[in-house]
Amino acid sequence: MMDVNKNEDQHLDKEGEWYDQDSEGAESEEMEVEVSAIINPSFISLKKDRLKEWLQFVRNKFSLNAEQMGEDVSVSGNIVSILNFEMYLNTIIGINDELDPIFAEVANKRTQIEIPIDKASYFLLLRKEKLKKYASLTSVNGIHYTDEGELVLRCEERYSNEIQSAIASDLAEIKREYIFFEKEEDIKERKKKFEETDFADDVEIRRTNLALSIASDDRIRLRESFELLIPEHQHLRCLIIGKVKLNFIVGDIRTVKAEFIVISSAAKMTGRKGASKELGKMLGKDFLNNCEKSLAKDGDIKETECREVESGLAYRRWIGHVRLPVNEQKKTTQVEQHTCFQRSILNSFQRAAAMKCTSIAMPCLGSEVNTGGFGIKNCANEYVNAFKKLQPSTLSEISFVDKNENKIQTVFETFDETTV
């Protein structure tokens, strides 16, 4: 911790004993020998924010001269004081300033911030005993519920970046999925059956209203749990065309088992309505942050472009934001508009294949006439045309999902006609 040297005013006599040249010739007592030392720079860097105050504490506490010389700090005094000071340096922990009296006085006055932790992550970290390392830090003031009912970890602001990075690293190992149900009895039954299986040992399951959230650091077990919990669709029709299975589902797109989910998007992925709004609410802040990063990196989404963004989920890994053309006869002919719309759907298929996905799901995109859509029959024709142009790929399952039964029926009938 220190490099020690004898004071320059002291010399060795012929017998090898130290004497003080300014002591009127009297033999010095060992405790009166003056010593100087340079404090380890790495330790000083930990004190730099309040170095002057700390040096004054050293002077008063240990009766030492303590001076700063550039980036170095030297101390000098009798050997007893130096030894006491050395013991002090070896006792305290550099970043644990609460063991240092000068910092203990202001420990409770330091700025505290709150780091949010979602409940599913909290319980999984708790189960994996990863919360212990945070609880043992003196800079952490525990995990609390806010007035809004959210879980937060409170810590000193100056250590927040390091703690956030550590939490992010732990949470990066955790994957999650969400399952939505229509009926109270369904969610109770599925949750009860799941908790009786071996999966419950590796997967944390939490219920919020009519939704289940599951989380685990074992992606394979989580995917299998998701398949076990996902409700069966009552209104489901299927077709096999070539090597691709087509599903036509009346229901909520949040309940579909697909690796790539396509939603209609504005240029800036605002997600203010429809499936986009529902998925954004389900996926939370991390997903919205991923959208912002995509915009910052690649700019606004161009017309007919489908841009994939990581969802953070274990099974439904990608959300494809497709920007559809608007049905405006003043700008282009209907044929050109339909061609652009068809290209949007084909781009969505191709992006899913490029991400090595085997399954894709989408609502009845572009069918809302009152918001610039093309009508469900025109859209269904372009779904079929885009499908015909899709080259053989990893995609083996395509699902059309919508809460409007009439729309799904029209899409099914249009595809069914191609198999005749």
Q: Residue 14's pLDDT is what?
A: 35
Dmax over CA atoms of the chain, in Å, equals: 119
Does residue 412 share a domain with residue 373?
yes
8 A C-beta contact, residue 341 and residue 374:
yes
Would the pLDDT of 231 be above 70? yes
Q: Is 303 helix (H, G, I), strand (E, B) or coil?
A: coil
> What CATH number does residue 55 fall under?
3.30.1370
Going from the C-alpha of 1 to that of each of 38, 85, 395, the distances in angstroms are 8, 10, 63
More confident residue, 122 or 330: 122
Please tell me whether residues 274 and 412 are part of one structural domain: yes
**Tokens (6 digits) for 236:** 């489901």
State yes or no: pLDDT of 193 exceeds 50: yes
Residue with tokens 């910052």: 296
Q: What CA–CA distance (Å, rounded) separates 313 from 308?
A: 14
The candidate with the shortest Cα–Cα distance to 418, out of 210, 167, 244, is 244
List helix spans (H) across 203-273.
219-229
pLDDT at 10 over 50: no
3-state SS class at 342: helix
Same domain, 242 and 192: no
Q: Measure Cα distances from 284 to 171, 281, 287, 360 in Å.
A: 15, 5, 6, 21
Question: Rounded CA gap, 218 and 132, in Å?
Answer: 21
Mark 3-17 as b/e (b = at least 16 C-beta within 10 Å): eeeeeeebeeeeeee
**Quick one: 136 and 273 in the same domain?**
no
When the pLDDT of each residue in the chain is averaged and rounded to a whole number, the result is 80
Residues 260 and 319 reside in one and the same domain: yes
Supply the DSSP symbol for 139: T
Query: Which domain, by its residues, includes 214?
Result: 176-229
Look at residues 107, 135, 155 and tell me which one is the last residue of a structural domain: 107
Answer yes or no: do 62 and 129 share one domain. no
pLDDT digits (tens, 9 = 90+) for 268-300: 887 666 677 778 778 878 888 889 999 999 999
- pLDDT range class, residue 318, cuts 50, 70, 90: very high
- At 56-83, the pLDDT tens digits run 888 888 888 988 887 788 889 887 788 7
**What pLDDT score does 20 carry?**
40
Q: Which residues, at least 6 apart from 282, have a Cβ–Cβ distance to it below 8 Å?
A: 178, 180, 211, 254
Q: Same structural domain for residues 183 and 165?
A: no
Whether the pLDDT of residue 49 is over 80: the answer is: no
Asked if residue 119 and residue 53 are part of one domain, the reply reads: no
Domain CATH for 305: 3.40.220.10
Q: What domain count does the chain have?
A: 4
Per-residue pLDDT at 305: 96
**Is a pLDDT exceeding 50 seen at residue 148?**
yes
What pLDDT, on the 0 to 100 scale, is given for residue 170? Answer: 80
Does the pLDDT value for residue 105 go beyond 80? no
Percent of the chain whose predicted confidence (pLDDT) is above 70: 80
Here the tokens at position 152 are: 């937060």
Cα separation, 39 vs 86, whole angstroms: 10
Q: How confident is the model over 212-235, as a mean pLDDT?
A: 85
What is the DSSP-derived secondary structure letter of residue 39? E
SS3 state at 231: coil
Give Cα 394 distance to the centre of its chain.
Answer: 29
pLDDT, residue 15, reads 35
Same domain for 90 and 218, yes or no, is: no
Last residue within a domain, chosen from 55, 80, 107: 107
Judgement on whether residues 73 and 125 belong to the same structural domain of the protein = no
Q: Sheet of 2-6: strands edge to edge?
A: 2-6, 34-39, 72-78, 65-69
Interatomic CA distance for residues 163 and 16, integer angstroms: 54
Same domain, 255 and 384: yes
pLDDT at 406 over 60: yes
> Cα-flanking dihedrals φ and ψ of residue 62, to 5°?
-115, 5
Say whether both 127 and 100 belong to one domain.
no
Three-state DSSP class for residue 71: coil
| Residue 283 pLDDT | 82
**3-class secondary-structure state, position 1:** coil
Among 235-239, 329-333, 340-344, 348-352, where is mean pLDDT lowest?
A: 329-333
Q: Per residue in 28-48, pLDDT tens?
A: 444 456 778 888 776 676 666
Last residue of a domain, one of 107, 138, 160: 107
248 pLDDT band, cuts 50/70/90, is very high
Give the per-residue pLDDT at 285.
80
